[in-house]
Amino acid sequence: KNQVEQSPQSLIILEGKNCTLQCNYTVSPFSNLRWYKQDTGRGPVSLTIMTFSENTKSNGRYTATLDADTKQSSLHITASQLSDSASYICVVSPGSSASKIIFGSGTRLSIRP
């Protein structure tokens, strides 16, 4: 069964610290992996996308990595800010049809001052 598992479920860190969120997937075939940020009360917004051949992608203080062999991805946040408090969702696509994509349940990140 195609699945996307994220860990931890929730995380609290102090402002200015770094953190890493994990995503393991069993989706096959694999087309791409995307990380979304979802602020409370809002819809998800795309942060990064990686295809099979890419193993790292950055977007400002966000850096995503992908190991397609072990089917693992991580999202690293550097020098966290209060505005980083949100849920981060890992999404894996088995092909070009968005109707088949699979969403992880997300990691809820809280940044404390």
Phi-psi region at 41: left, alpha or beta (left = phi > 0; alpha = psi -120 to 50):
left
46 binds another protein (CB under 8 A): yes
97 binds another protein (CB under 8 A): yes
Chosen residue from 57, 106, 107, 109 binding another protein by CB under 8 A: 106
In the complex with another protein, the residue whose CB is nearer, 64 or 106, is 106
Q: How many CA atoms lie within 13 A of 32 on its CB side?
A: 13
In the complex with another protein, the residue whose CB is nearer, 31 or 78, is 31
Q: Which helix (H) or strand (E) holds 2?
A: none
Question: Per 3-state DSSP, what percentage of the chain is helix, strand, and coil (rounded to 5)?
Answer: 5, 55, 40
What residues numbered 15-44 form the site for another protein, per CB under 8 A? 31-32, 34, 41-44
14 binds another protein (CB under 8 A): no
Q: Would you tell me which residues interact with another protein (CB under 8 A)?
A: 4, 9, 31-32, 34, 41-46, 49, 89, 93, 96-99, 101-106
